[in-house]
Amino acid sequence: MGESSTMWALVERAASDWAEHVVLADDYGRSFTGAELATTTEAVAAGLLGLGIEPDARVSWQLPSTLEGMVVMLALARLGAVQNPIIPVLRERDVAFVTEQVQTEFLLVPEEWRGFPHGDMARALAAERDLRVVICDHATDPSSTGGRMRLPVGDPATLPPPPTDPTAIRWLYYSSGTTSVPKGARHTDASLIASASAVIHLLGVRADDCDPIPFPIAHIGGISMLVASLVTGLRLVLFDQWDPVKTPERVVAHDPTMLGSAVPFFLAYLNAQERHGSEPLYPRLRIGTGGGAPIPADVNRAMRETFGIRGICNSWGLTEFPIVGFTSPDDDFDVLDTTVGFPARGVEVRVVDDDERVLGPGEAGELRLKGPQCFAGYVDPTLDVAAFDTDGWFRTGDVGMLDADGRVRVTDRLKEIVIRNAENISAREVEELLYRSPDIADATVIGLPDARTGERVCAVIVPLDGRTVDLDDVVAHFKALNVASYKIPEQVEIVDVIPRNAMGKALKNDLKARFA
């Protein structure tokens, strides 16, 4: 692995290094060794070429987390297309915005998936602009195909030479939807290969590991984990649907050594083990992995106590700067519970206050970054000036600090700080305290406008089954923990489920609109 590698060069190397070793599998009983993956991908690349997708073509795809999705991703990399992965839960408004901004020439979608007519949506977009729709079959039962891909195939002899420039802009990833307008980040093979460095060198994945992936591979984390698999032989198992009861039980068949990646998933795994009894559901489990949203320390401790692992190894990253760092399975409990570990190789982290003063260890401010996985700017170039400071550091919008050893602690998002009576309140801190309640299954915290205090702290709560929680209960809980009074929620809203995006991040803008 290195900055001189292209994505296709990694596939070719994996075909040799892992020729008979399974690197990819899915929930339909299918799998690919390194050699099979390379052979299948070239055939699909030739099939896409036969449909008119040539080098430098702009291709958007919205596919579930199956082997087909991974193969399409690599086939487009083999062709040298400019690809734009779109997470499957996005609908007309966002897909129309993204494909218009990207100037998409080909849109690859399933005809229907999970009850949504992606084909109809794609054809409606095509009727309004110069866009060709390619339907990728997800209706045929994969077990009936004999292991073949439900994708077009062709003769690899027709393929042009593979791309050789790892610095060419060939990946356009959009933010995962916590803001009102998606922002597209321009990436290269080199930047995305670098994004796997923390997984490989800090998390320490290896060829005997198995990681079930419950998140969309169209998210930028999908390609990062695929790179780690190609390099180390890590076996990735793709799940195209997530059911909090059924999926943790289906995962058992794959004998995982890793489980991730956000609070809703960990709660489901914990509940599954509780239902199962004392016999371990996942006897080879050695790592929990966190990413996409902060993991409360209490959830980390529950994973430790229930599964006998050291805890959850947390990572931190953004679409613009994927996987900045990772904690290690060998780290102390306090490190696992409170940090996102050391920065990956080549990554520099700076902490800056409101006056642009660089802060020292233990001082909190905005985290800014430089490193090889940094994006090359936005699809909309007018956003670039605000994204970088005058010294070229990327402004993350995250608040945190470096500890004395150089590990990163992320404490909040700048936009998720509640300012009440001129006091800054960390939404994440209040969420951590809520999770300590034995009556609360899930929770998030938002700031709502308040004529008297500027903003008030609102806790949105999913109670445990059979429990009741109201404002008096929450106040009593916080007072028992000796929490400063200004941090105690002033409003409590009870919901059946907290709306989250595909990566587990609470959709706080939706909640603010609902409860303001």
What pLDDT is attached to residue 176? 54
pLDDT in tens, 154-194: 999 999 999 999 999 999 999 854 445 679 999 999 999 99
Tell me the average pLDDT across 312-319.
Answer: 93
pTM: 0.85
Nearest alpha-carbon partner for 298 in 266, 330, 269, 328: 266
Nearest alpha-carbon partner for 196 in 313, 13, 338, 345: 345
Q: What single string gives the DSSP state of each residue in 192-238?
A: HHHTTHHIIIII---TT-EEEE-S-TTSHHHHHHHHHHHHH-PEEEE
d(CA 285, CA 47): 39
d(CA 317, CA 51): 36
Tell me the average pLDDT across 5-11.
Answer: 97
pLDDT in tens, 35-70: 999 999 999 999 999 999 999 999 999 999 999 999
Q: Which domain holds residue 452?
A: 421-515
pLDDT tops 80 at residue 87: yes
Residue identified by tokens 């998140």 is 215
pLDDT in tens, 474-484: 999 999 988 87
pLDDT in tens, 220-240: 999 999 999 999 999 999 999
Percent of residues, the chain, with pLDDT higher than 90: 79
pLDDT tops 80 at residue 415: no
Q: Which CATH number covers residue 443?
A: 3.30.300.30
Percent of residues, the chain, with pLDDT higher than 70: 96
Query: Predicted confidence band at 412 (pLDDT cuts at 50, 70, 90)?
Result: confident
d(CA 228, CA 472): 48
Angle between helices 67-79 and 34-50 (to 10 degrees): 70
Angle between helices 7-17 and 34-50 (to 10 degrees): 140
Whole-Å CA distances, 32 to 15, 153, 162, 236: 10, 17, 21, 10
Show Cβ contacts of residue 150 under 8 Å, excluding neighbours closer than 6 positions.
68, 136, 137, 138, 140, 142
pLDDT in tens, 138-148: 999 988 888 78
Q: Is residue 497 assigned to a domain?
A: yes
Tell me the average pLDDT across 186-209.
Answer: 97
What pLDDT is attached to residue 391? 95
Q: Is residue 462 assigned to a domain?
A: yes
Average pLDDT, rounded, for the chain: 92
Name the token pair of 500: 């989250």
Q: Are 149 and 74 in contact (CB under 8 A)?
A: no
pLDDT tops 50 at residue 279: yes
pLDDT tops 90 at residue 286: yes
Q: Is residue 24 assigned to a domain?
A: no
Q: Is residue 405 assigned to a domain?
A: no
Pairing of the two strands 82-85 and 58-61? parallel
Q: Are 173 and 185 in contact (CB under 8 A)?
A: yes
Proportion of the chain in helix, strand, coil states, percent, rounded to 5: 35, 25, 40
What pLDDT is attached to residue 468? 93
Q: Which of 110 and 175 is assigned the larger pLDDT? A: 110
Judged by average pLDDT, the poorest of 129-143, 336-350, 491-505 is: 491-505
Q: Is residue 390 assigned to a domain?
A: no
Q: How far is CA 74 from the centre of its chain?
A: 19
pLDDT tops 70 at residue 1: no
What pLDDT is attached to residue 177? 45
Whole-Å CA distances, 493 to 412, 477, 478, 504: 22, 16, 16, 20
Tell me the average pLDDT across 240-245.
Answer: 92
Cis, bond preceding 261 (omega within 30 deg of 0): yes
What is the Rg, in whole angstroms, of the alpha carbon atoms belonging to the chain?
A: 23
What pLDDT is attached to residue 179? 44
> How deeply is 151 buried, as exposed, middle or buried, from its count of CB atoms within 10 A (0-12, 13-18, 19+)?
buried
d(CA 151, CA 157): 18
**For 99, how many CA atoms within 13 A lie in the half-sphere containing its CB?**
31
pLDDT tops 80 at residue 126: yes
Instruction: List strands edge to edge, sheet with 312-316.
Output: 258-261, 287-290, 312-316, 325-326, 342-343
What pLDDT is attached to residue 181? 66
**For 347, how many CA atoms within 13 A lie in the half-sphere containing its CB?**
32
Q: Is residue 504 assigned to a domain?
A: yes
Query: What total number of domains does the chain contain?
Result: 1
Tell me the average pLDDT across 268-293.
Answer: 92
pLDDT tops 80 at residue 357: yes
DSSP β-bridge partners for residue 171: 83, 187
Q: Is residue 2 assigned to a domain?
A: no
pLDDT tops 80 at residue 23: yes
d(CA 107, CA 105): 7
What pLDDT is attached to residue 516? 86
What 3-state DSSP class applies to 313?
Answer: strand
d(CA 127, CA 50): 23
- Residue 102's H or E segment, with its range, is helix 92-102
Instruction: List strands edge to edge, sheet with 184-188.
Output: 132-135, 106-109, 58-61, 82-85, 169-174, 184-188
The alpha carbon torsion through 435, 299, 494, 514 (nearest 10 deg) reads 110
